[in-house]
Amino acid sequence: MRRMTKRTFVITGANSGLGLAAAKALARPGAHVILAVRDERKGREAQAALTGGTSEVRRVDLADLDAVRAFAAGLDRVDVLINNAGVMAPPRTLSKQGFEVQLAVNHLAHFALTALLLDRLSAGADPRVVTVSSVLHKKGRLDFDDLQAGRGYSATAAYNNSKLANAVFGLELHRRLTAAGSPVRSLLAHPGYAVTGLQAGVQPGLYRTLLTRLGNPLLAVSADQGARPVVHAATAPDVEGGQFIGPTGVAQMRGAPGPVPLAPHATDPALGRRLWTVSEELTGVRFPLLDRNRP
């Protein structure tokens, strides 16, 4: 990797899993890494594992949009924002603002954080927003009459839907940045099938058993390997805005990072516009730098 000195990366969920692996990879060539974490103690433990660059730990609870606003207000410089943190298939719970927690943490918080940091990103060096989705976005569907999954809640379906929201948002952000002539690149990434702490939040049952006892030991790659597409999207000079970076091996589960296809329904511009409008309404956050180019 080229030298990353004088570049600042903000990584949500950087205390474990993909976020920590990405933080280590970026710190080694000299980057300044801001570990955005809910638990500061765990964040400091993660920080101790970083070598090569500089780092700091900052608290943010992504299940609380007020905390997201406070976190963003405290940042002076950002060159790359990595929207990585997530929760996976927990029992149905609500965020502080009353949103289904997977939609709230995985999508709405990152939508708001990106909007709140866009002015600083626009002034950054080789600025990028990397939103971490999943191959499971292909199974997601966005039901705007029931985004909060209040009818017949399925933990896994709600997770898939949140990962689709990540994909739709990242691509729509790319469209709007391009229309505005912004220097910021919006990219998407996914780790393939990687062992991370994410599965620990899955509610007990058959799905969790299949993941932890069969899928993880037999098929999964390490968090370090899973982070490679994320780091590639955040640093490679030849990536283009709007690309989805993932493992290029069989079924996108492992292999060298590179561009991979999004599900066709994730690329629908009408879906992107609608999700954007609804996300603005739910979060109360807008993108003033892009508003003059609103479709």
Among residues 153, 159, 193, 207, the one annotated as catalytic is 159
Question: What pLDDT is recorded for position 294?
Answer: 55
Which tens digits make up the pLDDT trace of 190-248? 998 876 655 555 555 644 455 554 444 445 688 999 999 999 999 999 999 999 999 99
- 100 secondary structure, DSSP code: B
Which tens digits make up the pLDDT trace of 90-112? 999 999 999 999 999 999 999 99
Strand order through the sheet with 257-259: 54-59, 32-37, 8-12, 80-83, 128-132, 185-189, 244-247, 257-259
Question: Domains, the chain, ranges and CATH?
Answer: 8-285 (3.40.50.720)
Question: What pLDDT is recorded for position 251?
Answer: 84
pTM of structure: 0.92
Mean pLDDT, residues 20-39: 97
Question: What pLDDT is recorded for position 201?
Answer: 54
Residue-wise burial string across 166-191, b where 16 or more C-beta atoms lie within 10 A, e elsewhere = bbbbbbbbbbbbeebebebbbbbbbb
159 is catalytic: yes
Question: What pLDDT is recorded for position 222?
Answer: 87
Rg (alpha carbons) of the chain, rounded to whole number: 17
Task: Give the pLDDT band (50/70/90) at residue 283.
Answer: very high
Q: What is the mean pLDDT of the chain?
A: 92
